[in-house]
A and B are shown apart, each in its own frame.
Chain A
Amino acid sequence: MGIVGSFRDAHFLAKHRQSNSTSPGTMAHEESSPPKPSHRFQRKGFSYERLIKYFFASNAGLTIVILVLIMVFLLKEGLGFFPGYRRELETYRIAGLEFVDISRKNLTAHEQLTSLLNRAYFAEINGKSNREMRRTQEASALFNAFSDRIAPTRDLILNNPQGETDANTGMLATLRANFEKQREKALEKLLPTPHLTAGERRQLIDSLRNRPAEAAEDPPLVTTLAAEFAAAQQKNSEPLQAYRSTIDTFESAGADLGAAIMEMTESVTATKEKLQSADILEKDRKTLLSAASNAKDPAEREKLRSEAEAALAEKPDIDTPIQALLERRPDCIRLHQELKTAAAGIISQIPQSLTESDANRLLKAARNAWPVFLADLDAAPQKINRWKHTDMVPLSDAILSFLTGKDWVTGGEWQDFYGILPLAVGSLMIAIVALVIAIPVGIGSAIYVNQFAARREQALVKPVIEFIQAIPSVVLGFVGILVFGTVLREISVMDSLQWVPGFPIEERLNIFTAGCLLALMSIPTIFSLAEDALNNVPSAYAEASEALGASHVQTTFRVMIPAAFSGILAAILLGFGRVIGETMVVLLVAGNRIKIPDFSAGLGTFFQPTHTLTGIIAQELGEVPLGSVHYRALFVVGILLFVVVLGINATAHHFVNRVKK
């Protein structure tokens, strides 16, 4: 930077020396100042002030140059992605992977449906055995916590063999005494057991008190309760036997298709590997050829060229395996039709509803998915027949598949897909949560501080809110993981809160936790800018309003806020930009599951884990091979983020300028 800076200085100085004598501004300035001994020297352009001016000018210029370089670099690395991805998709088609995926998609749907039905089955049984489950859970939890507390002294006793010498016996006695002491302490503090009767609890505590240190088996009550639970499960599963066998029938109906897919997978994977190694050889050959054409020495050139000739790979044979694959078509179609017949028959055997609400929800989800599944199975034969490995893959397909692809799969053995939809949806949902929290809080506190707070409150609240910005985001991130996520999850399992959609939360790290932390991070941005906007409203407006007999509240809401509206909008937009661009917190707290959230859960969707555009770059960029398609895909994600944030900032700027006019 120093070198560039001084170079630019010299450049500016040289340029300015030429124009110096004609500049009227400097002439007037120099005439007005009294002549000094160094007058002649200054005219040559080595003015100290000018030097300072050029120093700062060069710094400002440098930032612009760096920004341009960043953009050029991003584009250079990123734009190579689309041709590379196109080639990958072409290989995917030529090798027949795409053909296998037609069937695989249906098999996956079948597996998901089976899983849903199974989950409904177990939810029903466990729901009905809820009382027994709680009782056994509470008893074991109490026993486990007790065991953990006495473990240190108990282990000492167990690890020391029975004493034969006097010294050993003495030591053992001390250890036992310690053990007893710790046991007494542990017995004082035991977990609550609301579902056990007082008598049962007493019995459990007594058994713990009289338990020998060496005992390995569980206390009798724990064992009894576990047995009771198992019996209850057994009893409650009896009325569901028909349902159980239906699920089993459905599960086995997919077995044949699964086996066929397994066989096909092997052959197409082999073809793909051949194609890929041929691609690599071809690339090496091109590198050699270009080196040859650049080489100056004729002998060297000849050597490189012959090497390139030698590297010319024979075209891998792809027709034979593809023909074998295409011969399987009727087979595949038959399997699909069989599965469809089975599935269509089974839906009528599934019970209409179950008694437990959880089970019912899962069952309903399965029932809703069923027609889609059947329609997909129906459409499959046509797709299979129409599929051609020779179809072209245009570049637009690669772009479209990147922008609208629902899968981001990387480093897999089968096929990599770079679809940003799950990441974009994740980013967006986190931003929604963050903004829903941050906008009212940030703007509300800005209004309060600007309009209603006393001076002392202003002096307290403003710096405190603005201080949040100074907290490193990684610190906020681990506070989020350790405190917020855990606390939220513990709250979510409370019985009295089960009416909240999405409770109990399954994943500790999810969209909501990330959104809350990002809200905390964007509140200072929104607050400061909104407060500035209110501050910039001319005081004449407030004066006029109050002179017309408007109260302070009326003035605030009818005059100040409308007048500051553009600025407040800009504050929100910049807060949004900050949320979208934030990386560390989402990487730590969002749960990092690359999947479009299941929107059927309603508001509960916000308690699912997700991944984000920023998070994926931070997570994967360090591990990808330089220059690979995956590496370039991350760059394109970077470009996309850059463009989005730039757009948001430009819009915000537009609103800010409107205020100034």
Chain B
Amino acid sequence: MNDLVDKPSVAPTTTAAAVEIRNLSFSYGSSQALKDITLDLTENEVTAFIGPSGCGKSTLLRCINRMNDEIIGTRVTQGEILVKGVNIHHPSVDVVKLRRDVGMVFQKSNPFPSSIFENVAFGLRMRGERNKSVIAQTVEESLKAAALWDEVKDRLHESALGLSGGQQQRLCIARTIAVKPLVVLMDEPCSALDPIATAKVEELIWQLKHHYTFVIVTHNMQQAARVSDRTAFFYMGEMVEFSATKRIFSNPRVRKTEEYITGRFG
């Protein structure tokens, strides 16, 4: 497991894959949502998934920590996903432990109806941490890392529901990184935020990417261009193009990609 603070920053050019997706096909009942996706998520980089609604990008994201397991009638029909070299669909894999390594931030901020402190401490408590000073320290570090500490340090024990939308979303990020995952999945984290709050979250991702591997699903082309190192474009359940962000936005190889990023459909 990586460490939040002490880990020496790794050059973003490292190409070690944190997550390898191999020939993945996935279906909801009879309709196929993902078709033969192969993709590597590089460690300490931000990978963006873009594409029109219903193209399967969120489905792929939720496959990586098996959140789709909760939805009845869904299944992986082909292929596999390796996190740190381990096949996550292997019967010996404990999905609860997988989710500790692959955290997730949702589209709509969803703090628990408890205090700010308890929200961040939740993941720690769930894995049996009882030492109060360890919890307090981790909560502080996580809130600082999420650039929220200065705003909430005087009201840690007030309800998290009293925070603004942007603060709530950053709290959800703090809550996710408090358990020190390898990979952080973000499902349109800024879609409900105003531009200033969005900028703060983006800045946060940019700072944190030295310690984590990020995957971000977004509808906002500028956001993908600003925040990500690599971008994957999906269309109708297939991955159309995957390459460095700079390249995809300046010189896409596939025509469909170009049409999408220039706003001709979507």
Check B114 for interface membership: any CB of A closer than 8 A: yes
Q: Which of A549, A551, A558 contacts B179 (CB 8 A)?
A: A549
Nearest B residue (CB) for A548: B123
Point out the residues of chain B lying under 8 angstroms from A145, CB to CB. Answer: none
Smallest Cβ distance from A551 to chain B, in angstroms? 5
Interface string of A550-587 (1 = CB under 8 A from B): 11001000110011000000000000000000000000
A550 surroundings in chain B (CB, below 8 A): 96, 122-123, 126
The residue on B at minimum CB distance from A541 is: B112
From B104, B108, B111, B113, give the contact of A547 (CB < 8 A): B104
Q: Does B213 contact A (CB under 8 A)?
A: no
- Closest A residue to B108 using CB positions: A540
Complex alpha-carbon distance, A623 and B67, angstroms: 67
Which residue of chain A lies nearest to B161 when distances are taken between CB atoms in the complex? A661
Query: Across the interface, do B113 and A548 meet the contact criterion of CB distance under 8 Å?
Result: no
Nearest CB of chain A from residue B218's CB, rounded to whole Å: 18
Whether, in the assembled complex, B63 has its beta carbon less than 8 Å from a beta carbon of chain A, the answer is: no
B98-130 vs A: 1/0 string, CB under 8 Å?
011001101010111110000000110111000
Q: CB of A545 within 8 A of chain B?
A: yes
Chain B residues within an 8 Å CB radius of A538: 110
A548 to B172, CA, bound (A): 10
The answer to whether B126 and A562 have CB atoms under 8 Å apart is: no
CB distance from A171 to the nearest CB of B (A): 78
Are B67 and A548 touching (Cβ within 8 A)? no
Contacts of B108 in A (CB 8 A): 540
A547 & B112 in contact (Cβ 8 Å cutoff): no
* CA gap between A316 and B49 in the complex, in Å: 103
Which of the residues A540, A541, A543, A554 comes within 8 Å of B67, measured between beta carbons? A543
How far is the CB of A45 from the nearest CB of chain B, in Å?
46
A554 to B124 Cα, complex, angstroms: 12
Is B245 close to A, CB under 8 A? Answer: no
Q: Tell me the chain B residues, 81-105 only, with Cβ under 8 Å from chain A.
A: 96-97, 99-100, 103-104
Given contacts A547-B67, A549-B96, A549-B99, contact A563 B113 (CB under 8 A): yes
Number of residues of chain A lying within 8 A (CB) of chain B: 18
What's the minimum C-beta distance from A539 to chain B, rounded to whole angstroms? 9
Give the CA-CA distance A540 to B97 in the complex, in Å. Answer: 20
Question: A453 contacts the other chain (Cβ, under 8 Å)?
Answer: no
Instruction: Assess the B100–A549 pair: CB atoms within 8 A.
Output: yes
Known interface pairs A546-B70, A550-B96. Does A558 touch B126 (Cβ–Cβ under 8 Å)? yes
Distance A146 CA – B110 CA, assembled complex (angstroms): 75
Asked if residues A540 and B70 are in contact (CB atoms below 8 Å), the reply is no
Which of B72, B97, B123, B179 has the largest number of chain A CB atoms within 10 A? B123
Which of B99, B110, B179 is A540 in contact with, Cβ under 8 Å?
B110
Which residues of B lie under 8 Å from residue A548 when comparing CB positions? 99-100, 103, 122-123, 126, 175-176, 179
Establish whether residues A540 and B106, one from each chain, have CB atoms under 8 Å apart when the complex forms: yes
User: Is there a chain B Cβ closer than 8 Å to A544's Cβ?
Assistant: yes
Given contacts A540-B106, A554-B126, contact A546 B99 (CB under 8 A): yes
Tell me the complex Cα distance, A91–B104, Å. 80
In contact, B67 and A545 (Cβ under 8 angstroms): no
Give B64-89 as 1s and 0s: 1 = Cβ < 8 Å from A's Cβ atoms.
Answer: 01010010100000000000000000
Considering the complex, which residues of chain A in the window 220-249 have a beta carbon less than 8 Å from any beta carbon of chain B? none
Chain A residues contacting B65 (CB-CB under 8 Å) are 547
Instruction: Kindly report which residue of chain B lies nearest to residue A537, judged by CB atoms.
Output: B113
A544 / chain B contacts, CB cutoff of 8 Å: 106, 110-112, 172, 175
Q: How many residues of B contact A (CB 8 A)?
A: 26
Chain B residue nearest to A547 (CB atoms) is B104
Q: How far is the CA of A551 from the CA of B100 in the complex (A)?
A: 11
**Binary A-proximity of B151-176 (CB < 8 A = 1, otherwise 0):** 00000000000000000000010011
Q: Bound complex: CA of A562 vs CA of B72, how far in Å? A: 26
Contact with A along B161-196 (1 / 0, CB 8 A): 000000000001001100100000000000000000
- Contacts A547-B67, A548-B126, A550-B96; is A541 near B110 (CB within 8 Å)? yes
Q: A541 vs B160: C-alpha distance in the bound complex, in angstroms?
A: 13
| Chain A residues in 8 Å Cβ range of B179 | 548-549
Complex Cα spacing A244 to B263, Å = 108
Least Cβ–Cβ distance between B118 and chain A, in angstroms: 10
Q: Which residues of A contact B127 (CB under 8 A)?
A: 549
Task: Indicate if the CB atoms of B112 and A559 lie closer than 8 Å.
Answer: yes
Q: Report A-chain residues with C-beta under 8 Å of the C-beta of B104.
A: 547
Q: B67 to chain A: which residues have CB within 8 Å? A: 543, 546-547
Q: Which residues of A contact B111 (CB under 8 A)?
A: 544
Contacting residues, chain B, for A559 (C-beta < 8 A): 112
Residues in A neighbouring B97, C-beta threshold 8 A: 549
- Between A540, A541, A562, the greatest number of chain B beta carbons within 10 A of the residue's beta carbon is seen for A540
B123 touching A562 by the CB < 8 A rule? Answer: no
Per the bound structure, the CA–CA distance linking A547 and B172 in Å amounts to 11
B99 lies within 8 A of A547 (CB):
yes
Across the interface, do A545 and B122 meet the contact criterion of CB distance under 8 Å?
A: yes
* A563 contacts B112, C-beta separation under 8 Å: yes
A540 to B67: give the CA distance in the assembly, Å.
12
Query: Complex: how many Å from CA A543 to CA B108?
Result: 11
Task: Name the one of B110, B113, B114, B122 contacting A543, with C-beta atoms under 8 angstroms.
Answer: B110
Within 8 Å CB of A455, what residues of B? 72
Chain A positions within 8 Å of B172 at CB level: 544
Chain B residue nearest to A455 (CB atoms) is: B72
Q: What A residues does B106 contact at CB under 8 A?
A: 540, 543-544, 547
A544 to B, closest residue via Cβ = B110
Neighbouring A residues of B96 by C-beta, 8 Å: 546, 549-551
* 14 contacts across the A-B interface (CB closer than 8 A): A538-B110, A540-B110, A543-B67, A545-B122, A547-B67, A547-B103, A548-B99, A548-B122, A548-B126, A548-B175, A550-B96, A551-B126, A559-B112, A563-B112
Known: A548-B126, A548-B179. 18 other contacts (CB 8 A): A540-B106, A540-B108, A541-B113, A544-B111, A546-B70, A547-B67, A547-B99, A547-B103, A547-B104, A548-B103, A549-B99, A549-B103, A549-B179, A550-B96, A551-B96, A551-B126, A558-B122, A562-B114
| B-to-A contact residues, CB < 8 Å | 65, 67, 70, 72, 96-97, 99-100, 103-104, 106, 108, 110-114, 122-123, 125-127, 172, 175-176, 179
Interface pairs A-B: 3 shortest CB-CB: A549-B100, A540-B110, A547-B104
